[in-house]
Amino acid sequence: MPLPAGTTTELARPLTDDDVLLLRRDFPALQQQVNGHELVYLDSGATSQKPISVLDAERSFYERENSAVHRGAHTLAANATELFENARTTVARFVGARENEIVWTSNATEGLNLIAYGMSNASVGRGGADAARFVLTEGDEILTTEGEHHANLVPWQELAARTGATLRHIPVDDDGTLRMEEAERLITDRTKLVTFTHVSNVTGVINPVEELVRMAHAVGALVVLDACQSAPHRVLDLAALDVDFAVFSGHKMLAPTGIGVLYGRAELLDALPPFLTGGSMITTVTLEASGYLPAPQRFEAGTQKVSQAIALAAAIDYLSAVGMDRIERWETELGARLVDGFSAIPGVRVLGPAAGVHRAGLASVDVEGVHAHDVGQFLDDRGIAVRVGHHCAQPLHRRFGVTASTRASAYLYNTTADVDAAIDGMAAVREFFGVTS
């Protein structure tokens, strides 16, 4: 595969603004003006822009191979199936997994629900003895954290309500880091599942995965990792991290909407009862009952997201060609610059770790006297796109004593000039709204 335009062959060399400006040419949506300014897109934490190679991959599929996968004997169907399964291989290699450990979902939210409903089904006897380790009853505990996206909270609230299990959470400190002494106390023999985000979508905190996995496995609990904010931005080896399940969404990593990934250790996926059922996931069907395929097919009922999966593989090829290690380093630099800049502005409070502490390439702030919505509107007028609101993390915002914040989140196509534009804009907000004292 040809390297995307702008990539260099010296993979170890750190990215520079010049490299990034070359990469940016691959992203049509970034070549536009908004409100009379060059677009500064700092909302990749919500969703990323797409390079031409990804758009082309999807279009090319529809122009050539388009047909039903895993069905039919004709050439197009065979070619489509091959591309679809190759995409699975690409994803598996990207996260240190095997093909049969990668399940297509429509997004991370569906992946988390798939696990929760699989456990729910096991808890009412589906899946038999093999599924015993997924059974939850009264007295069992599910452990999440105070810093989760609603996607990694609400499904567990529902699972607890259906099974009688108790949902607990690890609290966070004032700086958004997990209180590990509380984790130690909360992870007990009653704990059956521990689920947490790898990187916070609000604070950029990087949670101590290895330590939590060690504590959870010591009591025989399963570990679910929400990798939504890590898979797109960091080198990720799920097998090495030793998590049992992980989820992420394609749209946050240069791929289209409608495609996501559930990773599960093979022996767990083969034992977990299915969530959605119907065509394509069965062996023998009678009018009374059905047998199910092994993973991953047992979780892929119905017509699949074929073009999106192929486009996700193209996105991963793009990211890999640039180099995840380089992307991670670049974004760490941008994140530090954001936090340094925001923290230096009077009346602006950065939620999460203080300047100087390692974090991902994003920062959320509370601006004293100005509502996040107004901050976002002010920045938009300068062509700067940021996210405002609670970022689907109401409990964490409550913990910080605010209802909403303004988040700037960077990706591989952002330059230091983008970050500086956001800082300059932020520095002008309070004066515009007349709240400087």
Interface contacts to another protein, rule CB under 8 A: 35, 370-374, 377-378, 381, 388-390, 394, 397, 403-404, 432-435
- Under DSSP, is residue 192 helix (H, G, I), strand (E, B) or coil? strand
**Of 41, 27, 1, which Cα lies nearest the Cα of 320?**
1
24 or 397, CB closer to ligand PLP?
397
Q: Helix axis angle, 154-163 relative to 108-123, nearest 10°?
A: 10
Are 426 and 342 contacting, i.e. CB atoms less than 8 angstroms apart? yes
Cβ distance to ligand PLP smaller for residue 201 or 308: 201
Instruction: Specify the DSSP element, H or E, that contains 209.
Output: helix 209-218
Q: Which stretch binds ligand PLP (CB under 6 A): 10-18, 63-71, 80-88, 222-230?
A: 222-230
Q: Give which of 247, 232, 248, 257 is closest to 308, Cα–Cα.
A: 257
404 is in the binding site of which of ligand PLP, another protein, none (Cβ under 5 to 8 A by kind)? Answer: another protein
Cα–Cα dist 419/421, whole Å: 5
Give dist(CA 176, CA 171) in Å, integer.
Answer: 9
376: which residues sit within 8 A by CB, 6+ positions away?
386, 387, 388, 406
Among 398, 321, 368, CA closest to 148: 398
Strand 384-385 and strand 40-41: pairing?
parallel
* Rounded CA separation 200/227 (Å): 10
For another protein, the closer CB: 346 or 434: 434
**Least distance in Å: CB of 384 to another protein?**
13
Residue 141-160 contact track with ligand PLP, rule CB under 6 A, x = bound? --------x-xx--------
Tokens of 346: 């009077």
Indicate which residue of 293, 321, 392, 427 is catalytic: 392
Residue of the chain from 7, 163, 195, 249 that contacts ligand PLP (CB under 6 A): 249
201: partner contacted, choices ligand PLP, another protein, none (Cβ within 5-8 A by kind): ligand PLP
Eight-state DSSP code of residue 86: H
Applying CB under 6 A, among 91, 115, 228, 324 the residue interacting with ligand PLP is: 228
In sequence order, what are the beta bridge partners of 196? 225
CB nearer to another protein: pick between 89 and 394? 394
Q: How many CB atoms lie within 10 A of CB 382?
A: 17
Residue 151 contact partner, candidates ligand PLP, another protein, none, CB within 5 to 8 A by sort of partner: ligand PLP
Q: Which is nearer to another protein, 31 or 377 (CB)?
A: 377
Nearest to 406 by CA among 346, 357, 342, 344: 342
Among 121, 197, 414, 415, binds ligand PLP (CB under 6 A): 197
- Are the CB atoms for 196 and 212 separated by under 8 Å? yes
In the shown chain, the binding pattern of residues 353 to 392 toward ligand PLP, with x for contact by CB under 6 A and - for none, equals ---------------------------------------x
Is 392 catalytic? The answer is yes
* Minimum distance, C-beta of residue 290 to ligand PLP, in the bound complex (Å): 29
Q: Residues 103-122 vs ligand PLP: string with x where CB under 6 A?
A: ----xxx-------------
Give residues in contact with ligand PLP (CB under 6 A): 107-109, 149, 151-152, 197, 201, 226, 228-229, 249, 392
- Hey, which residues are catalytic here? 392
